[in-house]
């Protein structure tokens, strides 16, 4: 078929009918793009049909022509691969991966106590990640997660307030004690920060506030007007690390106080090392699990204060994290020093914390703070 306004090269020039339409302008040139298999490109269609649909034999053509009168069903697309099973599988740090099992629900008359919690947000000067995961032993026994954590931010001073607590397993309701200690500590610290220009003004008041909050809660649970310190400890004993990170012209000023064996670490120069708290080895070289928890208030305490330098990471956590980390030079320490060089997504942070390591099956809670560099000044 030929169009009226077109002619063969050997035809004589003659005018018939209306004048021919002007030729279309050539499309703008585009850089040559690599061909994608199975994708039709209207600007690069010379060989696409031949590549995707090779010549058919005569028998194939006949059978295809016979079936053209029948409606053709669309080819079924492949089912999407379920990557969740592999992507979120617990990371095993042992040579032989141990047998996994479905966690049992927590018991004890709780309305709701999640197996895992995580959080993450950023201010103009700091990135924060928080996670608390139930240990394998508690998952197997059906006991609730006894760790807890809390974090808040004062917009006037830019100060970030954090708290981490580990309920003592020998107590009867340790999960209540750890949760109450974190919430009451953060509330008291926020009050002091707002009144003190971003800084803690009275550490003794902080400890006293948590002490009395625990005793009042014990009184409600025991239905007694005045629960003693020993009664409260038997019911709600908990460790605590609480403090603030305050932005200053010289950098981020950190001040932390620890009661019990929860601790503080720092990642600096690609190495993880302990700074405060944690378990101390005895004369036999073994780590002792004996602690003096809240509601007992220590007579002598000294807050840890330092400047969090750019490129470093502050870690505050319970002994479920501290025990496998040790001095930071082992496998777990190297793992976290490598993976936490920059902020990770909150879900990834919780997944990293839920690693599998033989004999380390306690609850784990960790808060991480990164000073924001010039490239990440906006939250």
Helix (H, G, I), strand (E, B) or coil at 303: coil
| Structure tokens belonging to residue 263 | 């601790």
- Note the pLDDT tens digit of each residue in 3-12: 444 444 444 4
What residues contact residue 33 under an 8 Å CB cut-off, 6+ apart?
41, 44
Q: What pLDDT score was predicted for residue 48?
A: 38
Q: State what percent of residues in the chain have pLDDT above 70.
A: 71
Reported as a pLDDT band with limits 50, 70 and 90, residue 128 is very high
Residue 107: predicted pLDDT: 85
83 pLDDT above the threshold of 90: no
Find the range with the poorest average confidence among 186-190, 224-228, 293-297: 224-228
pLDDT of residue 91: 87
Q: Is the pLDDT of residue 53 over 50?
A: no
pLDDT at 31: 45
pLDDT in tens, 238-259: 999 999 999 999 999 999 999 9
Quick one: pLDDT band at residue 37, thresholds 50, 70, 90? very low
Q: What is the largest CA-CA distance in the chain?
A: 116
CA 206, CA 298: separation in Å to the nearest integer?
12
Q: Which one-letter DSSP state was computed for residue 54?
A: P
Q: Is 207 exposed, middle or buried (0-12, 13-18, 19+ CB in 10 A)?
A: buried
DSSP state of 167: B
Q: Collapse the DSSP code of 287 into the 3-class scheme (helix H, G, I; strand E, B; otherwise coil) and give the result.
A: strand
- pLDDT tens for 132-187 read 999 999 999 999 999 999 999 999 999 999 999 999 999 999 999 999 999 999 99
């Amino acid at each position: 078929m030929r169009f009226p306004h077109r002619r063969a090269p050997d035809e004589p020039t003659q005018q018939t009918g209306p004048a021919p339409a002007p030729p279309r302008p050539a499309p703008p040139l585009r850089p040559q793009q690599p061909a994608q298999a199975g994708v039709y490109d209207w600007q690069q269609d010379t060989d696409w049909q031949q590549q995707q649909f090779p010549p058919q034999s005569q028998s194939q053509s006949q059978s295809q022509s016979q079936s053209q009168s029948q409606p053709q069903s669309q080819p079924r697309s492949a089912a999407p691969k379920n990557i969740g099973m592999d992507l979120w599988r617990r990371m095993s740090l042992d040579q032989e991966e141990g047998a996994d099992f479905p966690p049992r629900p927590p018991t004890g008359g709780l309305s709701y106590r999640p197996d895992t919690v995580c959080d993450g947000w950023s201010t103009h000067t700091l990135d924060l990640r928080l996670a608390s995961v139930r240990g394998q032993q508690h998952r197997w026994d059906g006991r609730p997660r006894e760790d807890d954590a809390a974090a808040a931010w004062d917009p006037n001073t830019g100060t970030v307030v954090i708290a981490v607590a580990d309920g003592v397993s020998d107590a009867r309701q340790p999960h209540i004690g750890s949760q109450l200690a974190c919430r009451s500590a953060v509330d008291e610290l926020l009050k002091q920060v707002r009144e003190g220009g971003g800084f803690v003004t009275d550490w003794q008041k902080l400890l006293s506030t948590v002490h009395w909050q625990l005793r009042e809660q014990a009184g409600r649970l025991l239905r007694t007007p005045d629960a003693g310190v020993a009664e409260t400890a038997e019911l709600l004993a908990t460790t605590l690390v609480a403090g603030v990170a305050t932005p200053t012209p010289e950098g981020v000023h950190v001040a932390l106080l620890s009661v019990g064996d929860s601790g503080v670490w720092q990642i600096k120069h690609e190495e993880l090392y302990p700074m405060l708290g944690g378990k101390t080895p005895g004369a036999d070289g073994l780590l002792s699990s004996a602690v003096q928890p809240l509601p007992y208030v220590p007579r002598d305490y000294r807050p840890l204060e330092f400047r969090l330098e750019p490129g470093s990471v502050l870690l505050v956590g319970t002994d479920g994290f501290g025990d496998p980390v040790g001095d930071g030079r082992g496998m777990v320490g190297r793992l976290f020093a490598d993976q936490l060089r920059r902020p990770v997504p909150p879900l990834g942070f919780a997944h990293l914390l839920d690693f599998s390591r033989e004999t380390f099956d306690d609850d784990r809670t960790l808060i991480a703070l990164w000073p924001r560099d010039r490239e990440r000044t906006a939250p």
